[in-house]
Structure formats: structure tokens, C-alpha cells
Amino acid sequence: MKRRLPNSGKHEITLGQYGNFRGHLLEGGLGNSPKIVNPPGADPVHHEYQQGRTVKLAYNDADQNWAFENSNYMQGTFTVDNVQYERYSAGLGQKMAKMKKEGAEKK
């Protein structure tokens, strides 16, 4: 895998013989790129994305032959530590316990 993220904002990723991607981040209304923060179901690694647009997305492997242009993509940049994962796991456990309790009450 080869990845280039030059200062020009053009992103290029090559997956050897299997595929490649080229795109750029969109410009937001107040400058910088639009961000999606805390989407539903996000774990600490997927808690924030910048929105971009593909120039080209190609993939050829496992009987797949994809070729897309001008579609959305999300670029994630993050730093994660064990404290964030512990907080996430605790919150997820509480949500699952609540759903289990609500399911039992319906029966």
C-alpha cells in the first residue's frame, strides 16, 4: 500500500495491483473541510471524519471490478488511547444492558 497526502489536499492511495484511489477534501462554508463528528455507532477510531470527493476509486480483486468517480469519501484522522476505549466500552455495555432489559419487559 502506498499513500500520498501532499499539502495540495489531493489524496492518493495505491493498493498494488488491486486498486487505487484519488480524491480531495471538500471546502466548507467557513473554510477548512466539513466534519462529521460523533456519528451513530462510532467507536473511538471512527469518531470524526472530514468529508471529501473522489476523483477516482478503482478496485479489482475477489471477482470484484469497481470503478467509481465523483462520490463521497470520509477521511479519518485520530489519536486514540486506552482511556477513550475504556469509556467507549463502558458506555456500550450500559446501552446493551438497557436494550436487553427493555426487550425482557416487552415479553
Q: Label residue 30 by pLDDT band (50, 70, 90).
A: confident
Flag the least confident range among 12-21, 39-48, 55-64. Answer: 39-48
pLDDT tens per residue, range 1-11: 888 877 777 88
Cα separation of 31 and 100, whole Å? 44
Q: Please tell me the pTM assigned to this model.
A: 0.63
CA dist list (Å): 82 to 5, 46, 67, 85: 28, 15, 38, 5
Name, in order, each residue with C-beta under 8 angstroms of 94's C-beta and a sequence gap of 6 or more: none
pLDDT tens per residue, range 63-87: 999 999 999 888 887 788 899 889 8
